[in-house]
Structure 1
Amino acid sequence: MNLWVLRHGEAEPRANTDAERRLTAHGREQVLHSAARLLGKPLRAIIASPYVRAQQTAALVHGTLGFTEPVRTVPWLTPESDVQQVIGEIEQLGLQHVLLVSHQPLVGHLVTMLEQGAHQRPAAMSTASLAELEGDWPLAGLMTLRGIHSPA
């Protein structure tokens, strides 16, 4: 299984609610840079948080890759989601090559948990950072972190 975890691009500092914050022009550029790293990868699904900035990020990746399947929106990828629940949801998907689009602190904790199997210092995931994990199952401590790439 390959799992890519993408943090949304830079977002506006303010909106009516956190969920309504939109990507900035710089954030869109960041996402396009990260999306280019996914070209040629065997991606089968793009799954995103319902927050606007994550939806915009997923849409940019979707368009860049010419992906045919629609982006799936799920409530379990919001910033404060429980890491163990997210891992369970990923396992239930039964998919082999998945991109998750979400937020800090969730993305940092998720990458660390999948690689190390424990709550330790979360992985550093700046805006539009893309982590690539590989393993037989999406279980805590059983995946190998292939790298975290941040846009220039």
Structure 2
Amino acid sequence: MKLWILRHGEAEAHAPSDAQRNLTEHGRGEALRSAANLIGQPISAIIASPYARAQQTAQLVREALGFDPEIRTVSWLTPDSSPLQVLEELDTDDNVLLVSHQPLVGSLISFLQHGHLRQPQPMYTASLAELEGDFPLAGLMSLVSVKNP
């Protein structure tokens, strides 16, 4: 299976709450540049955080890819979610795109690759990581690439 982990594009600095921060125009461009790296990939689902900037990033990717299924919105992909919880919830062997936030994305990549959280993967806005493995389990996936927009 392949797993892609995308950090949302650049967001506004201020909003009534962190969850309400929208993408900036620059962030929209970043998201579209990252989406270009996914063209032709066998993605079966897009799963995203409920936060506005992640939803907007996921929607831009969905539109750029012409991806028909709806975005699946889940509460376990927020910035402070636990990588262990993500793996418990991500019960699939399909090729999936996760759209989320730091510090979760960096910790999740490290957990999938090394089986621990001591070396989080640096992920800039709209950075896209590709991992491969038989199943999304701690320490059993290989990091194929990280692309920055």
TM-score range with shorter-chain normalisation?
over 0.9
TM (norm. structure 2) is: 0.99
The corresponding residue for 1:149 is 147
For the residue of structure 1 that corresponds to 2:5, the secondary structure is strand
- Provide structure 2 residue ranges, at least 5 long, that are not aligned to the other structure: none
Runs of 4+ in structure 1 over 2 Å off = none
- Is the contact between residue 44 and residue 95 of structure 1 (CA under 8 Å) also seen in structure 2? no
- Is the contact between residue 131 and residue 147 of structure 1 (CA under 8 Å) also seen in structure 2? yes
Distance 1:66 1:58 in 2: 12
Q: Deviations over 1:40-99 (max 9, x none)?
A: 000000000000000000000000000000000000000000110101111x2x241000
- Provide structure 1 residue ranges, at least 5 long, that are not aligned to the other structure: none
Residue type at the aligned position of 1:108: G
The corresponding residue for 2:15 is 15
Pairing 1:99–2:97 present:
yes
The corresponding residue for 1:83 is 83
From 107, 121, 141, give the equivalent of 2:119: 121
The corresponding residue for 2:50 is 50
TM (norm. structure 1) is: 0.97
Q: CA RMSD in A?
A: 0.6
- Same amino acid, percent of matched pairs: 60
- Is the contact between residue 93 and residue 134 of structure 2 (CA under 8 Å) also seen in structure 1? no
